[in-house]
Amino acid sequence: MARPIGGTKKGVKRGETTSLSHEKEQVLREAFENSPIPTFVINKGHQVIYWNRALEVMSGITAQEMIGSKDHWKVFYHEYRPTIADLIVYGRHKEIPHWYPGKYNESKWIEDAYEATDFFPALEGGGRWLRFTASALRDSTGTITGAVETLEDITDRKLAEEALRESEARYRTLSVTDALTELYNSRHFYDQLQLEIERAERYGHPLSLLLLDIDNFKRFNDTYGHLEGDEVLIRLGQVIRRCLRKTDSAYRFGGEEFTIILPETGGEAAIILAERIREDMADEDFYPVESPEVVHETVSIGVAQYLPREGLRPFIKRADFNMYGAKEQGKNRVHYRSA
């Protein structure tokens, strides 16, 4: 009757045990070699003792070239630096955060095991993103005798994630941007103005608002057409962007109306900025197809400084009132009333 394989039961001879151990090692070696996961193993002396076929394909370096050497790091880096497997063998686990800051996690299940994600510029194609794991190998006494490291090429996944993030960012930008002028749209204006009002109330800092309207814009459209009118809107958007500071933000409020939020800005400083915009716009040259000569368009601008506890809509209403005051005074001018 055949006895079970792999035991040390009475009747199993020493030679048979050695043979079974050799058979197990051969099975493990075959499993390692045929694994689709790129893997290498180093011993206590940091020499490569296993370098499987999948890693040969990934690295372009054969096992014959690598086994017995300490050059496994050259696959991943231009200059020497330890892999996580090396740090484990050295017993320098505390150095892992130095080499992989914010890129690694310690295994919750296995002692002396880590996983990390990093970009390796030395790999083919201008570099590759790899997810890699490393864990200690121990003998029967628990002493570390080496380490095994596995690698997974996640470049395509990373590129897909980056493309998705860019797409989402682009969508968010488009959702708050006016397509014609490339300024923010009115929906974003209300959200941002409310935030700035809350900040002004909290810290007691000044806040001003400009409301602009293109003078005689309907007449311009009726005379030269809407395509030429769009050019005026686009150019006004460009003028506004040229004049703004980093802290300011501009919006197409609707039709030919524009508005600008000026944080940390009192009424007098807001007037100076408004005058710069008005003058720059008046200097712009337009050449409508139907016009034999250059045409100029102007803007009327209302300025308002936020009053404590005033609220959003009354604040906008005052800026709008001042803008119509500029119209009534002859257009192409800035009008400001403090209250």
Enter the tokens of residue 87: 């740090």
pTM over 0.85: no
Rounded mean pLDDT for each run of 10 residues along the chain, 339 residues in total:
39 51 69 86 94 90 93 87 92 89 86 88 80 91 92 87 78 82 94 96 96 96 94 97 95 96 97 97 94 95 96 96 96 91
User: What is the predicted pLDDT for the residue at 2?
Assistant: 37
Quote the strand ranges of 232-317, DSSP E: 249-254, 257-263, 299-305
The type of residue at 335 is H
Q: What is the dihedral of CA 248, 252, 256, 260, to 10 degrees?
A: -20
Q: What is the dihedral of CA 286, 290, 293, 297, to 10 degrees?
A: -40
149, 196, 228, 256: which one is catalytic? 256
Nearest CA to 300 among 257, 240, 263, 248?
A: 257
The type of residue at 41 is V
Query: Could you tell me the domains of the chain?
Result: 35-159 (3.30.450.20), 176-336 (3.30.70.270)
Stated as kind and residue range, the H or E segment containing 137 is strand 128-138
User: What is the predicted pLDDT for the residue at 1?
Assistant: 37
CA distances to 47, 49, 293 from 68, rounded to whole Å, are 5, 6, 84
Quote the strand ranges of 226-280, DSSP E: 249-254, 257-263
User: What is the predicted pLDDT for the residue at 140?
Assistant: 87
- Those residues whose C-beta lies under 8 Å from the C-beta of residue 334, and which sit 6 or more positions away, are 271, 274, 275, 278, 300, 301, 302, 303, 326
231 a catalytic residue: no
CA gap 203, 208 in Å, rounded: 15
